[in-house]
Structure 1
Amino acid sequence: MSDPTAITLPFATCDVFTEVAFGGNPLAIVEGADALSVAQMQTIAREFNLSETIFVQSPDDPAHTAKVRIFFPTAEIPFAGHPTIGCAIHLALKDAPDGDFDTQVTLEEQAGLVPVKVWRTEGRAMAEFRAPVIPHAVEGVTTPGTDLLAGALGITPETIGFGRHRPAVWQGGPRFLYIPVRTLDTLAQARPQEPRWSEVMEMAGVDSAYLYTPGDACDLRARMFSPTAGIPEDPATGSASAILAAQLMASGALTGTNQFTLHQGVEMGRPSEITLTVLSEGDRIETVLVRGSAVPISQGRIRIP
């Protein structure tokens, strides 16, 4: 039975990095969250139990659209891509419920200020953000060898790496272990295997691994595993896609302005599409842009813990 005295907040859910409902990566957006404590936000994120929940607060600078806090089911994180895309589209659609538009949403995230271009054309809503941190190497960590990585994923050592692509750890707010594999069959076969998975995560100083390989009908197809963060597998990971720019630079795959179509979530039955644009000069990354769509799914009110 509902409690008429309970205080509630509005929420919405959407599927991000897809134009098809019930594809891509689900996101919960909780508005009016200024008075929530970290513990309350964590409790709500655990209740939704999605890979991420984003909480919308009043901005510190009134020139910006909103301040946001992003949570895994288990912890707060400084930046994430699919909450940024989904929340920006959600806020823009509230201001422009009908017709085509082209606008700018500016989100204050813990990793920094994130400008997001949002537009709708013929009913198709899209957003593109500029990564708040240029991805870079992580000091003081050791990239596990291929034998250990293979054991942690249930694949064979010779299937790891292709061309100049080799495993490495990169950071850009969050950090990820990047593991290139040779074929789509290997990508489909991979699964975290204990106890070696935990050994790999501890050695690399991460809780997430991003696997990728050349794809069909896309440049790269990927999977992202993060079971220790409460995410057995993520259907679409915008932050990992942004930080992938550093992995591509180290692999010799960047020259000037580059655009990549990334597919993720296929093996989960939640296919997603992410567009990654990297502007580079020489061996230096100048700008990283991540683009995708979102589809509204539900809305309602949630009790405050």
Structure 2
Amino acid sequence: MLSFTQVDVFTDELLFGNPVAVVHGADGLSTEQMAAFARWTNLSETTFLLSPTDPAADYRLRIFTTARELPFAGHPTIGSARAWLAAGGAPKSGGRLVQECGAGLVSLRANGSRLAFAAPPLLRDGPVSPSTLGAVAASLGLAPDDIVDAQWADNGPGWVAVLLADAEAVLALAPDPAAFVEYTTVGVVGPHPPGAAADFEIRAFVADDAFFEDPVTGSLNAAIAQWLIPAGKAPATYTAAQGTKLDRRGRVHIEQSDGEIWIGGDTVIGITGTVDL
């Protein structure tokens, strides 16, 4: 029997964020067992905490969707860190946690129930070609001229990020699932007016084995921040809302400090127990 935790991420109230299933002490599980359990939980991601192989790391994390293993993902990183700490984990360096995963070492810092990770380097960035932009626009039900700007924003899942004129345009999107053929992970961002509860609205669309909208997405928010802040399209500190169209209240807190971009969110533990794998 292995310890099990389910954590709601990017929310301060259970049921309004993005849940991740976390299995503790998973060193004895095979890749096939992990993948099968991730399919069974049917969440966007399921993670497995293991002993680190890098002496600098506090723990090692493997991250699975229902269809594949990811080298990195944001809300599973924050949720798994919360589960590890709640189970008695103590960081080697005191103030920071270090996660080992497929993307390398990822630093995290904790402030009560809110945790933040340092955005990992992008695997791919830069402009999106006109042909790709046309395909992405079609998948979103947009004309190419509706897109203010676009950027490759891949830190693992393969994101193409799209900037629209405003949050209202983001919320009005009606994507065509059948059009997500080649570009299967698309993120969309638009600014809210001054004085709103959040600075930006974000939506994330994924078409791995089936099309779905992700409630709140740490990896996408990290990649978008790495694009918008250096480009002068977003301030060094801002808050993004996500999940609005799914009746969630996801809030992602972004801060650039000491040369790093930190992606933070509140966490709520919803389920604890054991699982027999």
Bucket of the pairwise TM-score, normalised by the shorter protein = 0.7 to 0.9
Answer whether contact 2:136 2:186 (CA < 8 A) is retained: no
Match of 1:171 in 2: 154
Deviation of 1:114 after TM superposition, in Å, equals 1.1
Give the one of 83, 87, 94 matched to 1:94: 87
Distance in 1, matches of 2:54 and 2:180, equals 42
Distance in 2, matches of 1:42 and 1:192, equals 28
Answer whether contact 2:72 2:219 (CA < 8 A) is retained: yes
- Equivalenced residue count is 271
Match of 1:184 in 2: 167
Deviation of 1:270 after TM superposition, in Å, equals 1.3
Distance in 2, matches of 1:46 and 1:239, equals 21
Instruction: Classify the secondary structure of the residue corresponding to 1:137.
Output: coil
Instruction: Please list, as runs of the form range in 1=range in 2, the aligned pairs for 1:131-150 lying within 5 A after superposition.
Output: 131-134=119-122, 136-137=124-125, 142=129, 144=131, 148-150=135-137
1:180-225 Cα distance to aligned partner (Å, 9 max, x none): 1223332223233154332xxx2xxx42000111123211110000
1:202-261 Cα distance to aligned partner (Å, 9 max, x none): 2xxx42000111123211110000022546011111111111134315743267xx1121
Give the one of 10, 14, 17 matched to 2:7: 14
RMSD over equivalenced CA pairs, Å: 2.6
Q: Note the residue ranges of structure 1 that are not aligned, 5 or more in a row.
A: 1-7, 97-101, 281-285
Distance in 2, matches of 1:32 and 1:194, equals 37
Match of 1:99 in 2: none
Distance in 2, matches of 1:135 and 1:249, equals 18
Worse-matched range after superposition: 171-180 or 71-80: 171-180
Match of 1:302 in 2: 275
Answer whether contact 2:16 2:248 (CA < 8 A) is retained: yes
1:219 aligns with 2:206: no
Deviation of 1:131 after TM superposition, in Å, equals 2.1
Answer whether contact 1:135 1:246 (CA < 8 A) is retained: no
Instruction: Classify the secondary structure of the residue corresponding to 2:227.
Output: helix
Instruction: Please list, as runs of the form range in 1=range in 2, the aligned pairs for 1:20-31 lying within 5 A after superposition.
Output: 20-31=13-24
Distance in 1, matches of 2:229 and 2:158, equals 16
Deviation of 1:293 after TM superposition, in Å, equals 1.0
1:152 aligns with 2:139: yes
Distance in 2, matches of 1:47 and 1:302, equals 12
Distance in 2, matches of 1:104 and 1:223, equals 30
- Aligned residue type for 1:117: R
Distance in 2, matches of 1:143 and 1:85, equals 35
1:271 aligns with 2:259: no
Match of 1:107 in 2: 99
Match of 1:41 in 2: 34
Q: 1:229 to 1:181 in 2, by over 3 A?
A: farther
- Aligned residue type for 2:39: R
Distance in 1, matches of 2:155 and 2:38, equals 23
Q: Percent identity?
A: 31
1:95-131 Cα distance to aligned partner (Å, 9 max, x none): 28xxxxx8432211110111211132xxxx1111112
1:60-103 Cα distance to aligned partner (Å, 9 max, x none): 1455321110011100000111111111122222328xxxxx84
Match of 1:128 in 2: 116
Distance in 1, matches of 2:132 and 2:111, equals 44
Answer whether contact 2:3 2:23 (CA < 8 A) is retained: yes
1:119 aligns with 2:147: no
1:75 aligns with 2:75: no
Q: Note the residue ranges of structure 2 that are not aligned, 5 or more in a row.
A: none
Distance in 2, matches of 1:173 and 1:296, equals 26
Answer whether contact 2:154 2:160 (CA < 8 A) is retained: no
Q: 1:207 to 1:105 in 2, by over 3 A?
A: same
Q: 1:159 to 1:142 in 2, by over 3 A?
A: closer
Give the one of 262, 267, 270 matched to 1:289: 262
Worse-matched range after superposition: 57-66 or 111-120: 57-66
Answer whether contact 1:92 1:105 (CA < 8 A) is retained: no
Answer whether contact 1:135 1:245 (CA < 8 A) is retained: no
Distance in 2, matches of 1:115 and 1:212, equals 25
Distance in 1, matches of 2:257 and 2:157, equals 21
Distance in 2, matches of 1:157 and 1:134, equals 25
Instruction: Please list, as runs of the form range in 1=range in 2, the aligned pairs for 1:47-58 lying within 5 A after superposition.
Output: 47-58=40-51
Deviation of 1:149 after TM superposition, in Å, equals 3.6
Q: 1:175 to 1:143 in 2, by over 3 A?
A: farther
Instruction: Classify the secondary structure of the residue corresponding to 1:95.
Output: coil
